[in-house]
């Protein structure tokens, strides 16, 4: 089952120019009055004047607006790269006056790259895609018995952190980038519960999460998964599912990057 929905969006702004921070705040107030955001609450919880301040902060932002050009030896791209090592990574929206640097945003985890001239259409699209992604990252409640088979234990796991789920007889094992957690629910239970455009059963024993699939090799019938702790994982795909899994992954990636579902 899913945990109850989270509350307000937690937004941070990192920019060395106070005037640009104020301009962005005014723009956000205006944008969040649009019909697309009528049921979404937000709060700007922190301002940072440089990348070091953002990295030193313990606040977990849902969205972080990050200026590309900042003084102090750590610009927006370097800041974003270090943020990728966090357990909870914010959605990063880069802001710049130099649109030509957009290609540098993706390798460091940038979700969108916007001009500080604030093109309304691009800004609204970025915010819709960002809020859609956040609201799909719910936490699931995972229950299992302790090692003595007596006390019931419950954990909450963000769906975006799951790399794959493996059957364990009548039960299952949920793998994330950081650890594995036993579950007293079957693989079939998770397949039916979790979003079908994101979680795909590549064979009898495994359900993979397209959020963390690096690639699918149709010829070798392998799914390559991003795992931070023990290196990347690879899972064999059933012969009759390789092509369909590859196509489903690309359908998902179009949605995940801000397209329509």
Domain ranges of the chain: 9-135, 158-256
Q: What is the pLDDT of residue 206?
A: 97
φ and ψ at 149, to 5 degrees?
70, 25
- Inter-CA distances, 221 with 49, 55, 104, Å: 48, 40, 32
Domain pair 9-135 / 158-256, same fold: no
φ and ψ at 103, to 5 degrees?
-65, -20
Sheet with 162-168: strands ordered across: 180-183, 171-176, 162-168, 206-209, 199-203
pLDDT mean over 128-140: 82
Q: Band of the pLDDT at 224, cuts 50, 70, 90?
A: very high
CATH architecture of 9-135: 3-Layer(aba) Sandwich (3.40)
Q: What pLDDT, in 10s, does the model give residues 166-182? A: 998 889 999 988 888 99
Tokens 């998902």 belong to residue: 252
Tokens standing for residue 223: 């799914």
Question: Is the pLDDT higher at 79 or at 166?
Answer: 166
**Contact at 8 Å (CB) between 66 and 76?**
yes
Q: What pLDDT, in 10s, does the model give residues 97-132? A: 866 555 555 555 678 888 888 888 888 888 988 888
Highest CATH level, class, for 158-256: mainly beta
């Amino acid at each position: 089952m899913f945990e109850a929905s989270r509350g307000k969006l937690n937004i941070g702004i990192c920019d060395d120019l106070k005037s640009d921070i104020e301009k962005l705040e005014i723009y956000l107030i205006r944008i969040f009055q649009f019909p697309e955001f009528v049921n979404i609450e937000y709060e700007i919880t922190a301002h940072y004047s440089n990348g070091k301040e953002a990295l030193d902060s313990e606040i977990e932002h849902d969205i972080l607006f990050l200026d590309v050009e900042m003084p102090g030896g750590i610009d927006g791209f370097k800041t974003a790269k270090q943020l990728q090592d966090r357990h909870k990574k914010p959605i990063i929206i880069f802001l710049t006056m130099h649109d030509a640097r957009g290609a540098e945003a993706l390798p460091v985890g940038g979700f969108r790259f916007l001009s500080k001239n604030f093109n309304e259409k691009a800004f609204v699209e970025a915010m819709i895609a960002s809020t859609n992604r956040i609201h799909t990252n719910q936490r699931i409640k995972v229950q299992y018995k302790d090692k003595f088979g007596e006390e019931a234990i419950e954990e909450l796991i963000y769906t975006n952190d799951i790399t794959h789920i493996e059957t364990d007889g009548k039960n299952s094992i949920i793998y994330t980038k950081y650890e594995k957690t036993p579950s007293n629910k079957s693989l079939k239970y998770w397949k039916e519960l979790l979003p079908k455009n994101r979680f795909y059963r590549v064979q009898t024993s495994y359900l993979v999460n397209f959020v963390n699939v690096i690639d699918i090799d149709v010829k070798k019938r392998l799914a390559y998964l991003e795992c931070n702790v023990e290196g990347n994982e690879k899972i064999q795909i059933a012969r009759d599912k390789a092509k369909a899994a590859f196509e489903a992954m690309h359908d998902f990636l179009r949605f995940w990057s801000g397209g329509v579902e």
